[in-house]
A and B are shown apart, each in its own frame.
Chain A
Amino acid sequence: MGPSAGFHPYNHIPEGNTVNIKRYGAIAAVVGATALVLAGCATSNSSGSSDSPSAKPTTETVVGPKVDTSLTGTITAGGSSAQANAETAWTAAFQGTQAKGVVVNYDKSQGSGGGVTNFLSGSYDFAGSDAALNATQYPQAVTLCAGGSPVDIPAYLSGVALIYKLDGVTDLQLSSATVAKIFTLQIKTWDDPAIKADNPKATLPSTPITVVTRSDGSGTTANFTKYMHDTQPSIFTQAVGTAWPVAGTSGQQGGSGVVNAVTAGTGTIGYADQSSIGTATAAKVSGSGKDFVAYTAEGATEAFDSAATVASQGAGDLTEVIDYSKISGKSAYPIPLLSYVITCTVHKDAAQGKLTQAYLGYVLSTQGQLVGSKNAGAAPLPTSVLKAAQKTIALIK
């Protein structure tokens, strides 16, 4: 007979599903903590590599509306995880330099879709989203912002980095056609003639290519698929959107999952937001031109400056459309990644409107963009965009 009772009885392990429901709530905190730790590592690396903006000496400084330092309150927001690190930096800087009493709660676990959904239901003061309000959501927002209008303001600029891990190759160059062929699995090995043509000086092994992509919905996927669709429509024929459309790749959860899988494997290639790649090697990419460009913050700003045009959906709206064919030159990075803040010009609670205006005014100022680039690896938005944004922000009340 076995040992009699002396150890504690089995009476506390709960039924499967209740555990998962309770734990899923705690998971958000742990994932947030993990992401913050990983982001901390990424940020400490990228802030070393991103140059301080060598702005032309005559660049004017854009400032937001004057903020009363005694302002207090709480701003509730959420959405895109791409701009989450930047939001943290902006919040800290805003509290430190503008108004100590303002608290900004940005929930990045919602994703762009969740952020917009919550914004449309009235729970957020503003939403962070990798895509502007679409044709179905804009009318809903118009109803929400009765008395004013909904506005999409570009706030965060970065780039989509193509990271890879290949023995013996550290300076990979890829044309947009090659990129599209690799990511649609038409090129299967690293020593394919197309890759060789892009890299005449490199010795490429015959390792099979492992393509690493996102298994969850993501604004990075949307930006990257749009780039491939616009530059190589005959090669990339699949759907543009937040869900990765090509079957047969290795899907990982989150940008950090992609970075981890690429760095842990061999012969891997994947895409991720530039600010989250850490020490992974990124390839140089060409757009519609012939030059292979490595990512720099100035390169992203320059690309955005030359290729983005405003396609306004309403009064004060600054939805941008990027024409990839206009990105050319030796320094403009071909795959910029843009993220918006979406808010109403008239808030139901005037106090919240004032808080939102003060905060967004800071975010869309030269100083705010500098904070974002130094701490979160973002690229500063061009001055012209900041000026237009401040005009919209002046309407917020």
Chain B
Amino acid sequence: MSNETVSRPQSERPAGAARVKAKSRPADRIFLGLSTGSAALIMVILAAVALFLIIQAAPAIVQNWSTNPDLSKGTTEGHDNFWDYVLPLIWGTVWSSAIALVIGAPIAIGIALFISHYAPRRIAGILGYLVDLLAAVPSIIFGLWGIFVIRPFLKPLEVWLNHNLGWFPLFGGQATSTGSTILAGAVVLAVMILPIVTSISREIFLQTPRLHEEAALALGATKWEMIRYAVFPYARSGVVSAVLLGLGRALGETMAIALIISPSLIFSVKLLTDSQNPQTIAANLALNFPESDTLQRQALIGTGLMLFVISLAVNFVARAVITRTGGSKRSRGTKKPKAETLPLVPTSTAALEESAVVGTGKTRDEGARA
């Protein structure tokens, strides 16, 4: 709560100038304590969850599964060790989420763009509200919708693809007869991640500085070119973070996948079969937990630990991508934008006048002087 000046960037203050501290009353200290406590609580909870997973899973992970009487029957039967069991599950989790992302992310970004730049104001408001409403639908409802609507709907397409394009690895195998394919599951997953990606992308697109957009339009860009040159470069890291948040949701999705897909523990890329759909970690946990013995449950918790690790990894990658491509968007107002994110658009009116005379090729240098 120091009085740092907002008019002069930190790097330009004289060295040795003391930081000015504000007065501190009891209320300040209490609030500081509360916020620090909350932050600490989050870390404690995260650590507690990680510890719980590790402690519970450890006995099952270190066992030899083929000789242990509990682990060689039932849920975990037929696997030599933990990794033999969990690696196909990890593959299934990543694969189904990847397909969902490929299907859902472009559509979500398209919707966000439509809402922020193309739609009339009122429609944009309604559409935004409807998309946010989609996020309120429970995942079990999505699962039931998937069973009763999406599976029969996609089945003719799946059978057609399998018969006519079966030579392609993704479309091979024996065609489905109940529609319980990973494609159906991924379509439902894509619908589930739509609200997350759309909402965040929409906010990012709306934050594009008006000046940049009008500058591009003034230079003779069409609407699409304006979006391509002013909005996308600005929004890139925000959209990446939105997509990765959607990926996080897809990775952990349980009930929809458990209800829709006919699972197996295999490494497969086939999209259109009943018997070669790789199972995801979360759905496998949900389906097998009730009928499992103690040690088998610990094995399942071990797979949950793997999911936890994957989710953490995805979030780290998201952070790395964000920090590397332009920093936090919220500080845009006070920080100079990096020149390379705006290759063609000048960043001040002065530069605008100059470039109007000289041509767009010189804007990078003009922008750096702003």
Contacts and interface: CB of A to CB of B under 8 A. Distances in A.
Interface stretch (B4-12, B163-171, B249-257, B334-342): B249-257
A34 interface: yes
A251 interface: yes
A251 B262 contact: yes
Interface in A1-36: 1-10, 13, 15-17, 19-20, 23-24, 26-27, 30-31, 34
Contacts of B81: none
B289 interface: yes
A148 interface: no
Contacts of A13: 132, 135, 195-196, 199
B290 A253 contact: no
A344 interface: no
Interface in B172-219: 176-178, 180, 195-196, 199-200, 202-203, 205-206, 210, 213-214
Interface in B103-159: 115-121, 124-125, 128-129, 132, 135, 138-141, 144, 147, 152
A248 B174 CA distance: 10
A265 interface: yes
Contacts, number: 176
A98 interface: no
A31 B140 contact: yes
Nearest to A115: B290
A17 B262 contact: no
Among A10, A81, A112, A250, find the residue whose CB has the most chain B CB atoms closer than 10 A: A10
Chain B interface helix/strand/loop/mixed? helix
A241 B72 CA distance: 11
Contacts of A208: 177
B254 A218 contact: no
B180 A20 contact: no
A15 B245 contact: yes
A268 B178 CA distance: 9
B274 A210 contact: yes
Contact of B128 (A7, A23, A216, A265): A7
Interface string B274-292: 1100000010001111111
B366 interface: no
Range class of the A interface residue count: 35 or more
Nearest to A137: B293
A45 to B, nearest CB: 19
Nearest to B210: A1
A34 B259 CA distance: 13
A250 B251 contact: no
A330 B112 CA distance: 67
B290 A216 contact: yes
A316 interface: no
Given A110-B290, A264-B178, A253 B275 contact: no
Given A243-B288, A268-B178, A7 B275 contact: no
Interface in B194-248: 195-196, 199-200, 202-203, 205-206, 210, 213-214, 245-246, 248
Given A10-B202, A245-B77, 4 more contacts: A8-B129, A16-B196, A20-B254, A26-B138
